[in-house]
Amino acid sequence: MDLGSILLKSSDFIASKKSRRWTVKYNIVKIKNQGTIEDRPRKVTANDDIALDQWIRRNNETKSQELVQKLLHDRDLNVSRWTVQCQLKRMGYKSALPYRTSMLTQKHKESRVQWAIQHKDDDWSRTIFTDETSYQLFRNTIRRWSKNPRGEVKRIPKNKQKIMVWERLQYQGPDRLSFIQNNYEWSFLCSNSSRSSYPQ
């Protein structure tokens, strides 16, 4: 391949990737050193991809450095954690911080609005709404590898390092706010409900 063809191919590559200035300089150096901008063959093979995928599915909180050690021990493959991260991204994985609770989809929102419209003329004088929420005491900084980052949820109710709050809302207005220190069970809720505040 002559120099003109190489430069033409390089310019097409740079334009297609919408590269920045440092990328242009990087490709010029690569052309001078090896006569092409094509990357060298990857060390991670298809079988290595299968192993990575299995490890992630078993525990998607595995860190990239731990995957490096697994590849070295089980596959006799010595690569850096940057190589592992790039390969996982090629496989469709993204590093995601899980949400504390599930995010409402558009279908969920529309269903709730429809339910409210259908019941807007109901008699709510003898109805009490209750809801609870939990506050995590420590930040969640453990990231996960996922092909669906928005679907990653941290199961807070199973985490003991939290504060749970229970609130009741009725026709006359909000009731008292309760801080729960016991197990969140139906018998506990019934015994701690303010019966005097219920509509007669």
The predicted structure's pLDDT at residue 35: 61
Q: Measuring CA to CA, how many Å separate 121 from each of 49, 80, 117? A: 58, 64, 8
Query: pLDDT tens digits for 21-38?
Result: 667 777 677 676 766 655
Helix (H) or strand (E) holding 140: none
Domain map of the chain by residue range?
Answer: 3-34, 46-92, 124-143+150-197
The arithmetic mean of pLDDT across residues 155-164, rounded, is: 62
SS3 74: helix
- The answer to whether residue 10 scores a pLDDT higher than 70 is no
Q: 90 or 1: which carries more pLDDT confidence? A: 90
The arithmetic mean of pLDDT across residues 142-153, rounded, is: 82
Amino acid in the structure at residue 168: R
Helix (H) or strand (E) holding 3: helix 3-17
